[in-house]
Amino acid sequence: MYFSLSWRNIWRNKKRTLILAASVFFAVLLSIVMRSAQLGSYAYMIHSSAKLLTGYLQVQGKGYWENRSLDKGIHISLQDLERIRRIENVTNVTRRLEAFALVSHLNKTRVGQILGIDPQSETKMTGLRDKVIKGEYLNPNATNLLIGKGLAEILQADIGDSLVIYGQGAYGQMAVALLPVGGIVDLPFETLDNSLVFMVLPAAQEIFSMENRLTSLPIMIDDVRHLDHVYRDVRAIADEHWSIMTWSEMMPDLKENIEVDNVSGMIMLAILYVVIAFGVFGTVMMMVAERTREFGILIAVGMRKGRLILVSFLESILVSFLGAVAGMIASIPIILYLINHPIYISGEGAKIYENMGIEPIMNFSGDPTIFISQALVALAIALITTLYPYLFIRRLEPVKALHG
């Protein structure tokens, strides 16, 4: 009965109802768009960095991250590799062998970072093939090198030139090779561009005496939200010599930057919520002031204040709920459009993204929890403002209300 009465009451004055519903509607809409932009940007930064460098997860030998030594290499059987690939939400797994050695051409010498890779899975993860600016990408059956543009300039090397690689193998013996440059790539980070030398994994394993062993196994997943369950599944496969690291452990600076930015974003949302609260409260005050005489008459004819408060409370709930649901529904096509048509960043902001090797765009997140949580927060704010009608009706004197 009270619900039915409240529903009828809110449509007696459609203008008043629409004003309150609109306040909640725009509050929900704006907060969803803001939060979606924040979380979408974080997910995009994590994905881009993981794709370019480490993967979301990385299997290594115990102690390898602290001491980049070949004796920390691990053997991962084809059976275990296939089991990892079959884990739900895993999109790619690539094998790597990383070592450091002197790289020379004529009278030029540089300390290089040698990376033995699986050409097919590596380009699926990092897009390495698309970064080739001269020559050809690695051929699985060849021993050509793929080097960074910066390193090529430092060594004054070009396609067809042979580079001498001189380093130390896994057992302390010399690791020496003379291999031709087959391609040059343009890498986003200057430090990597000036040092990286790619070769096929079997060649690197032979040069550094790492037969069937790797230094790392980066793992890509479809969404950072699935990281925990993929981590558990990989852990279940791992043997006692494996160490499994997450992107946040391998890129602590990125994690810290996201956490700091998230705090500032939450402060902005809090400011928005305060503005929303005052807007809704002002609307509720106006509605109550307009209905003072109505409340006075109802109390005068015998309606208990408790029931009047209940009806008023239900009215606020209904109107706020309508506004919150409408705002949530209206935000869905907007967010879907922004996900499919991200905003391109220009100017100084674009340079910051490009220096990080990330395309300068603002991504949005379609995580359902964003819609639900922001609608609930706005709804809670609207419901808190119903305390005013409660206090107003409790203190209302029918005679004064009728003559007010």
Measured CA to CA, the distance from residue 171 to residue 211 in angstroms comes to: 12
In whole angstroms, give the CA distance from residue 154 to residue 281: 66
- With a cut of 90, say whether residue 145 has pLDDT above it: yes
Residue 228 CB: number of other CB atoms within 10 A? 10
Q: What is the pLDDT of residues 147-176, one digit of tens each?
A: 999 999 999 999 999 999 999 988 888 899
In this predicted structure, which of 21-35, 278-292, 352-366, 369-383 has the lowest mean pLDDT?
278-292
DSSP 172: S
Q: What is the pLDDT of residue 240?
A: 83
Strands 242-246 and 108-117: unpaired
What is the value of pTM for the model shown?
0.79
pLDDT in tens, 308-337: 667 677 777 788 888 889 999 999 999 999
Distances (CA, A) of 109 to 101, 163, 231, 259: 10, 10, 41, 41
| Range list of β-strands (E), 30-159 | 57-61, 90-93, 96-105, 108-117, 132-135, 145-148
* pLDDT at residue 308 in the model: 67
User: Nearest CA to 336 among 47, 32, 18, 6?
Assistant: 32
Tracing tokens 């160490």 back to the chain, one arrives at 243
| Rounded Cα gap, residues 373 and 224, in angstroms | 19
Select from 101, 105, 96 the least CA-distant residue to 113. Answer: 101
- Name the pairing type of β-strands 242-246 and 57-61: antiparallel
Encoding tokens for residue 245?
């690291």
Tell me which of 25-34, 82-91, 276-285 is least confident: 276-285
Closest CA to 204 of 115, 95, 278, 266: 115
Cβ burial, residue 219 (10 Å; 0-12/13-18/19+)? buried
Question: Mind listing the pLDDT tens digit for each residue in 203-255?
Answer: 999 999 998 899 999 999 998 889 999 999 999 998 888 999 999 999 888 88
Contact 2, 345 (CB under 8 A): no
Range from 30-34, 129-133, 327-331, 395-399 carrying the lowest mean pLDDT? 395-399
Q: Give the lowest-confidence range in 120-124, 273-277, 349-353, 400-404.
A: 400-404
What percent of the chain is predicted at pLDDT more than 70?
86
More confident residue, 236 or 404: 236
CA–CA–CA angle 148, 345, 339 (5° rounding): 100
Look at residue 296 in the predicted model and tell me its pLDDT: 67
pLDDT bracket for residue 2 (50, 70, 90): low
- Please check the confidence at residue 116 and state whether its pLDDT lies above 60: yes
Please name the residue that has the structure tokens 């220009």.
Answer: 346
* Stated length of the chain: 404
What is the per-residue pLDDT for 6? Answer: 62
pLDDT at 52 over 80: yes
The torsion angles phi and psi of 245, rounded to 5 degrees, stand at -115, 145
